[in-house]
Amino acid sequence: MSTQSDIPQHIGIIMDGNRRWARQHKLVALQGHEYVSNQVIEPLAERCIARGVKYLTLWAFSTENWNREKSEVEGLLNIFRTGLQKNGEKLHKQGVRLGTIGNLEQFPADIQTGMQHWIDQTANNTRLTLVFALNYGGRDEILRAVKTITAEHAPAELQNLTQAQFSQKLDSGDLPDPDLIIRPGGEKRLSGFMPWQTVYSELYFTDILMPDFGPEQLDEALTEFGRRRRNFGR
């Protein structure tokens, strides 16, 4: 018989449905993204703290998002800038440690610097680790890890490479694998979100769009998680 906690240690959320939410409310697409940044992220972090979740990873920008219209991409970058200023201090005061996964090198220098500032400022916080997946794609992450490992090891050494050693070279090397993946927005796929790390994650899909996914909806996902029995292949 398997045993588990009713509360996941690590939750990942694929933040989907912002543009559809904006259209439904007769707003421009960026206002959906802005609403999530200003109104959704902090309450979700607060509820995670209250429920005992220790890690929350939010997929905010994928490697494919660069292919959107230039105006939307520029708008998203500006939301990241203002979001860092607005949310960074609030989250810091709540004891939240900030982190990132993904390849930040493609972002403008001021965003990289701003993100690193809050990573450094919040490094000693322990109530929740909130990770933003920025310019993140699962295949890209794995490919970068392979390049790092092959550059660091002789071919003969690679024969003895373990899964644990490979995991350490991923962007999420210092994080536990997600116990629960939530995807709002109605789609039922992972779209390349943490493919290595999610092999035993529980999946929760909902038609609710991300701007409407608040603490109460998170509670519903946690209730469903508590009903699951995880055997991890045993």
Positions marked catalytic: 16, 65
Rounded to 5 degrees, what are φ and ψ at 27?
-120, 165
Indicate the DSSP class of residue 177.
Answer: P
Task: Supply the angle between the helices 215-227 and 41-51 in degrees, to the nearest 10.
Answer: 40
User: What Rg do the C-alpha atoms of the chain give, in angstroms?
Assistant: 18
What's the distance, CA 155 to chain centroid?
A: 33
Structural contact between residues 132 and 103, judged by C-beta atoms closer than 8 angstroms: no
Structural contact between residues 146 and 114, judged by C-beta atoms closer than 8 angstroms: no
Rounded to 5 degrees, what are φ and ψ at 33?
-65, -40
